[in-house]
Chain A
Amino acid sequence: MAKIVVDVMLKPEILDPQGNAVASALPRLGFSFANSVRQGKRFEIDIDGEPTAAQLAEVEKAAEVLLSNPVIENYVVRVEK
């Protein structure tokens, strides 16, 4: 069984109020490492066997149509061992 991961992030130019809220909470808790924080979504998709090129192409399509909104988000599809 393999796992296909789709990471969806807001495009860099889109304001991310949630990420900003996390970034401003960190120093209040004593964490001083962060210049900025961006928050995104991660989808984990289980499939049988190793993914074929055709399956990965399908996942790319699903990421484009459903999992992300290309107007405001970018996505990356990868296979996790």
Chain B
Amino acid sequence: MRVGVITFPGTLDDRDAARAVVVGGAEAVSLWHGDADLKNVDAVILPGGFSYGDYLRCGAISRFAPVMQLVIDAANKGMPVLGICNGFQVLCESHLLPGALTRNSDLHFLCRDQEIEIVNNQTPWTSSFKQGEQIVIPLKNGEGSFQCDDQTLAMLEGEGRVIARYVGENPNGSRNLIAGITNAKGNVVGLMPHPEHAINEQTGPSAQGLGFFTSILNAMVK
């Protein structure tokens, strides 16, 4: 089971993501933004950070990286893809996921432990969780406010495509407290908070983030 972790110029969380993949039980494969080859991976993670310096808009330049053309094709054919934070922004800019991530409503860069509820455990990235399970993982971003038009919001809610919601006060102005969504097929997931920073209680607020990485292993083994 090979899980690719993409590094763009300005990516920060690729090493933590790769480590989480290994702790979850899979092999982590480093992919570079300029690669024209997905190295036979079974799934791909787009980690957090500030790819291409967040120039223009978060994720806007990364969308056109050579490796992303391969990821977009593979995702459309059903390969599991997880975008975390900046990776979520890249997936929205790539039109693999609907909506957009905009500036936090209070303008502050937030970095804190955040409680979220898993509201769809039917994706290859969330199957290790119980439906409705509440977990605490770090949230750290400046542009994490999920926005879309009313029609898209109704579609996401109606089709059960919201996969995680913030618990308690809305941290960033996201519509309907949305912390993560999936595509129509359910193979592409975008998540604003960071499960890869919560795989060990000694270095994170919990080890509950690990569920995303054991989920993908289970999905592939089935």
A interface residues with partner B (beta carbon < 8 Å): 10, 13-15, 17-18, 21, 66-67, 69, 71-72
How many residues of chain B get a CB closer than 8 Å to chain A's CBs? 20
A72 near B56 with CB under 8 A, answer no
Task: List residues of chain B with CB within 8 A of the CB of A14.
Answer: 102, 147
A18 near B100 with CB under 8 A, answer no
Task: List residues of chain B with CB within 8 A of the CB of A18.
Answer: 103, 107
A-B contacts, 10 listed (Cβ < 8 Å): A14-B102, A14-B147, A15-B173, A17-B173, A66-B64, A71-B92, A71-B99, A71-B147, A72-B102, A72-B147
Count contacts between A and B, CB distance < 8 Å: 36
* B175 to chain A: closest residue by CB: A15
B148 near A71 with CB under 8 A, answer yes
Is the CB of B76 closer than 8 A to any CB of chain A? no
**Given the known A-B contacts A14-B147, A15-B145, A15-B147, are A72 and B107 also in contact in the complex, defined by CB atoms under 8 Å?**
no
**Given the known A-B contacts A15-B145, A66-B56, are A71 and B105 also in contact in the complex, defined by CB atoms under 8 Å?**
no
What is the bound-complex CA distance between A69 and B57, given in angstroms? 8
Task: List residues of chain A with CB within 8 A of the CB of B65.
Answer: none
A17 is contacted by which of B60, B98, B107, B149 (Cβ under 8 Å)? B107
**Given the known A-B contacts A18-B107, A66-B60, are A72 and B145 also in contact in the complex, defined by CB atoms under 8 Å?**
no
Q: Mark B161-191, 1 if CB is under 8 A from A, else 0.
A: 0000000000001000000000000000000
Is the CB of B14 closer than 8 A to any CB of chain A? no
A71 near B56 with CB under 8 A, answer no
Minimum CB–CB distance from A66 to chain B (whole Å) comes to 7
Is the CB of B196 closer than 8 A to any CB of chain A? no
B103 near A17 with CB under 8 A, answer yes
Task: List residues of chain A with CB within 8 A of the CB of B149.
Answer: 13, 71
Is the CB of B13 closer than 8 A to any CB of chain A? no
Task: List residues of chain B with CB within 8 A of the CB of A21.
Answer: 107
